[in-house]
Amino acid sequence: MKPHRRKKLTIIAFIATGLSVAIGLSLYALSNNIDLFFTPTQVAAGEVATGQRIRIGGMVKEGSVVRNEESLHVEFIATDYNNDLQVRYDGILPDLFREGQGVVAEGMVADGVFQASRVLAKHDENYMSVEVKAAMDAAEKDRADAVPAGESNGS
Amino acid sequence: MWLWFSKLGSPKWFYELTTKWLPWLVVFMAVSMTVGLVWALLFVPEDYQQGFTNRIFYVHVPVASISLASFPLMAVAGVITMVWKMKLADMVAKCAAPIGAWFTAVALITGAVWGQPTWGTWWVWDARLTSLLLQFFLLIGVIALRSAIESPDAAAKACALLAVVGAINVPIIKYSVEWWNTLHQPATDLTMNENGANGPEIWVPLLIMIAAVYCFFAVSLILATRNEILMRERRSQWVMDIVAKAKV
């Protein structure tokens, strides 16, 4: 390689590395602002001021969804498996809102309860056909039936 | 070792080589695109959660993946332009910008169309979506910069530098779903099969679509670059020969 080309290449490498480091450090410093939502653990740790508009995210706890039969009012628990957060919402839930699936809600914390003004469903990275899901559920049921009651702990 | 490198940089050599190989690439693209689209849009089984909305995934994922590759391609061409002043590299970089911008736009639009029924919103300012939107604006910026500078040499240098700097955004887009919490799901690991998800009925058509869309990108880029070569080399003897032959 000719010297003037080597020099140019070095300059470009320096610019690219320098900028990458600068951008990397700023993104690291801003990571709290880049995160889309707070987790229930962060809310429990008091990282969020009461009355501040935020988004929270977590899984909808199995068996926690309570719907009001006369209105759109719904309550459920968002969890990250360390901490739980009670969520209240008056509005239409997205089609993919399910127990055991991810959720992101916009709103604010008041008296330890999250009052949501908007709820979005979060999809995970797993895709499965209806048939495969049915077969897996059937297999799981068989396994559960095969273990007699009382012997299931510790397995 | 530098002989093939300088040969590779010759527009004439590129033009003749692609004349030979382009028909094969087009045939492969047509076959894989037809098979992939018919399979993905008509026969992929219904998803247990999304229903048939999952079929958007077969267009969105390949398009988004190649749109991410367009920027490093421009950056590599840019480094070659700046260091070795190779004309062909700048022609490729110039042609890759609008094609990359279109692919990025299609990735954003198909993502929004999928997001509406799945998440319940067309758009959310999470790290993945925002960084991909930034890439779209960067590509528009590269195109605008090219047409704003009159001298072709100066324009080539400016665009090359912007491409190198802008390529820093690519790993940010790629890893945004792991570094920060986002609404967008992380990349699907297609080798992970123990939980029954993402089985062959999901990933085989995806693989075919990825091959088809990558070929489509390559064909578009080669065709555009060939036009650019004829335009820029129009005063050289070999291009005049081609034009003379075409007129007969």
Same domain, A50 and A28: no
C-alpha–C-alpha distance, residues B92 and B226, integer Å: 9
Q: What is the pLDDT of residues A113-131, one digit of tens each?
A: 999 999 999 988 888 888 7
A:B CB pairs within 8 Å? 124
Same domain, A76 and A23: no
Choose the most confident range, by mean pLDDT, from A60-69, B98-107, B119-128, B198-207: B98-107
Share of chain A above pLDDT 70, in %: 94
Q: What is the pLDDT of residues A83-99, one digit of tens each?
A: 999 999 998 888 889 88
Q: Establish if B14 belongs to a structural domain.
A: no
Same domain, A28 and A97: no
Residue A153 binned pLDDT confidence (cut-offs 50, 70, 90): very low
Residue A152 binned pLDDT confidence (cut-offs 50, 70, 90): very low
Same domain, A17 and A77: no
Q: Establish if B17 belongs to a structural domain.
A: no
Same domain, A71 and A19: no
Count: domains in chain A: 2
Q: Establish if A79 belongs to a structural domain.
A: yes
Class of residue A88 by CB neighbours under 10 A (exposed 0-12, middle 13-18, buried 19+): middle
Nearest residue of B to residue A8 by CA position? B83
Count: domains in chain B: 1
Q: Do B124 and A120 touch (CB under 8 A)?
A: yes
Domain that holds residue A14: 3-32
Q: Do B49 and A34 touch (CB under 8 A)?
A: no
Residue B1 binned pLDDT confidence (cut-offs 50, 70, 90): low
* Mean pLDDT across A5-26: 91
Tell me which residue of B98, B77, B29, B57 sits closest to B205, measured CA to CA: B57
Q: With 70 as the cut, is the pLDDT of residue A155 above it? A: no
> Which tokens go with B117?
């029924």
Q: Establish if A136 belongs to a structural domain.
A: no
Lowest mean pLDDT among A25-29, A78-82, B2-6, B206-210: B2-6
Same domain, A101 and A76: yes
Please state, in angstroms and as integers, the Cα–Cα distance from residue B141 to each residue in B25, B39, B137, B166, B224, following that order: 31, 37, 6, 10, 19
| pLDDT of res. B246 | 82
Please state, in angstroms and as integers, the Cα–Cα distance from residue A45 to each residue in A49, A50, A81, A84, following that order: 11, 12, 15, 12
Q: What's the predicted TM-score (pTM) here?
A: 0.87
Q: What is the pLDDT of residues B63-115, one digit of tens each?
A: 999 999 999 999 999 999 999 888 899 999 999 999 999 999 999 999 999 99
| pLDDT of res. A154 | 43
Contact B171, B179 (CB under 8 A): no
Q: What is the pLDDT of residues A36-77, one digit of tens each?
A: 999 999 988 888 878 789 999 999 998 889 998 888 899 999
Q: Establish if A84 belongs to a structural domain.
A: yes
> A114: domain CATH number?
2.40.50.140
Please state, in angstroms and as integers, the Cα–Cα distance from residue B191 to each residue in A118, B134, B208, B209, following that order: 36, 31, 16, 18
Interface test with A, best of B2, B5, B49, B169 (most A CBs within 10 A): B49
Domain that holds residue B168: 22-41+51-186+199-243
Same domain, A45 and A105: yes
Residue A103 binned pLDDT confidence (cut-offs 50, 70, 90): very high
Q: Which of the two residues, B170 and B4, has the higher pLDDT score?
A: B170
Interface test with B, best of A14, A25, A126 (most B CBs within 10 A): A126
Contact B170, B134 (CB under 8 A): no
* Other CB atoms within 10 Å distance of the CB of residue A70: 6
Q: Establish if B239 belongs to a structural domain.
A: yes
Q: Establish if A150 belongs to a structural domain.
A: no
Same domain, A17 and A54: no
C-alpha–C-alpha distance, residues A1 and A10, integer Å: 12
Out of A19, A120, A122, name the one closest to residue B168 (CB): A19
Please state, in angstroms and as integers, the Cα–Cα distance from residue B33 to each residue in B37, B38, B66, B208, B209, following that order: 6, 8, 15, 8, 6
C-alpha–C-alpha distance, residues B45 and A48, integer Å: 43
State whether the Cα torsion B206-B208-B211-B215 is positive or negative: negative
